[in-house]
Amino acid sequence: MSWFKRSKKSLKATAPKKNMPDGLWQKCQYCGEILYIKELEKALWVCSKCGYHFMIGTDQYIEILCDSGTFEETHTGIRSVDPLEFKDVKKYSDRLKQSMSKTGREDAVITGFAKLSGRDVVIAIMDFSFMGGSMGSVVGEKIARAMNDATKYRRPLIIVSRSGGARMQESILSLMQMAKTAAMLAKMSEERIPYISVLTNPTTGGVTASYGSLGDVIIAEPRALIGFAGPRVIKQTIGQELPDGFQRSEFLLEHGMIDMICPRDGLRDRIGDLLEFFCVAVAATPSEADKNEGESSAVS
């Protein structure tokens, strides 16, 4: 009987324990490889062994996407007022204060003007470390204003999303930010302003179910968790294990929900190429396009 013949694999620790001096080495959360932080930084926090994309900060995305020194933050000084005086085991106002002091930000998104591969753009980058990147009144308002800027100045919009979804502590007001941002996108769409949605790990709930999924082109980072419902909720609802790779970027690509998967180091060039394609078409009516033909400075 094969039962008895099956050789027993000896138990072993998933990764050998190594003593790591603080701040020099980082273990890959996916493959367990020990990586030298200086090298990891150079590789934009992508594991050299397995390609795992570490979660990175908002400032790092600015560096990765924007031409050096071109980012100018907009719509600062907007903060939540805890409109429902929400309190669970902790007060929302305390959670906000904590997140502000931890991240040094006012809420879970920053917006700004920048250049990307030489082109003027409007960019919004969500911050997962601020209350799970959740969207309340402030995030919705700032995203909507960024969309308004893009429309007003006729610049393409790029949003880097990572979010647990709508912020429960602002209840219905958070839900309505989905409608607010989607309504602005309807206007942007009419005005033919290109919008590139970049989905990073993790993007779920109300952000995926609004502007996250409405990009003219949708790009995801490799292996990012992207979905409507969180995997835990789905597992509880259907009472079975979820298939391997479920709700990861590769799964979404296979099911037709995103256009492409792009590693971090290729993001700026890829977005630049896409904008090149869209913006030339946007900027001009056919007669203007004829006129512009041959002119070298066909930048937006």
Partner 1 sequence: MKANQFLDFEKPIIELEDKITELNRAAAVQNVPVDDEVKRLTEKARKLRSEIYSKLTAWQYVQLARHPLRPYTIDYIREISDDFVELRGDRAFADDPSIVGGLISIGDKRCMIIGHQKGRNTKENIHRNFGMPHPEGYRKALRLMKLAEKFRRPIVTLIDTPGAYPGIGAEERGQAEAIARNLREMAALRVPTVSVVIGEGGSGGALALGVSNRILMLEYSIYSVISPEGCAAILWQDPAKNRDAAEALHLTPKHLVSLGVVDRIVKEPEVGAHRDLSAMAAELKRAIYEELNYLGHVDEAALIESRREKYMKIGFFTEDSP
Q: Given the DSSP bridges, would you call strands 226-227 and 195-204 parallel, antiparallel or unpaired? A: parallel
Q: Given the DSSP bridges, would you call strands 195-204 and 217-220 parallel, antiparallel or unpaired? A: parallel
159 token code pair: 């949003």
State the minimum distance, in angstroms, from the CB of residue 146 to partner 1: 13
Q: Which is nearer to partner 1, 1 or 238 (CB)?
A: 238
Q: Is 109 left (phi over 0), alpha (psi -120 to 50) or beta?
A: beta
Question: Applying CB under 8 A, which residues contact partner 1?
Answer: 76-81, 83-84, 86-89, 136-138, 140-141, 144, 166-180, 182-187, 189-190, 205-206, 208-214, 227-229, 233-234, 237-238, 242-243, 246-247, 255-257
State the minimum distance, in angstroms, from the CB of residue 72 to partner 1: 14
Q: Which is nearer to partner 1, 58 or 137 (CB)?
A: 137
Contacts 24+ apart (CB under 8 A), 14-17: none
Distances in whole angstroms, Cα of residue 37 to Cα of each of 51, 58, 209 = 15, 18, 35
State the minimum distance, in angstroms, from the CB of residue 17 to partner 1: 31
Q: Which is nearer to partner 1, 9 or 255 (CB)?
A: 255
Q: Which is nearer to partner 1, 42 or 90 (CB)?
A: 90
Q: Which is nearer to partner 1, 115 or 235 (CB)?
A: 235
State the minimum distance, in angstroms, from the CB of residue 134 to partner 1: 10
- Calpha distance 270→121 (Å, rounded): 14
Q: Which is nearer to partner 1, 40 or 182 (CB)?
A: 182
State the minimum distance, in angstroms, from the CB of residue 294 to partner 1: 37
State the minimum distance, in angstroms, from the CB of residue 60 to partner 1: 26
Instruction: Tell me how crowded residue 299 is: count the other CB atoms within 10 A of its CB.
Output: 14
Concatenate the DSSP letters of all residues of 198-258 into one string.
EEEEEEETTTTTTGGG--SEEEE-TT-BEESS-HHHHHHHHTSPPPTTTTBHHHHHHTTS-
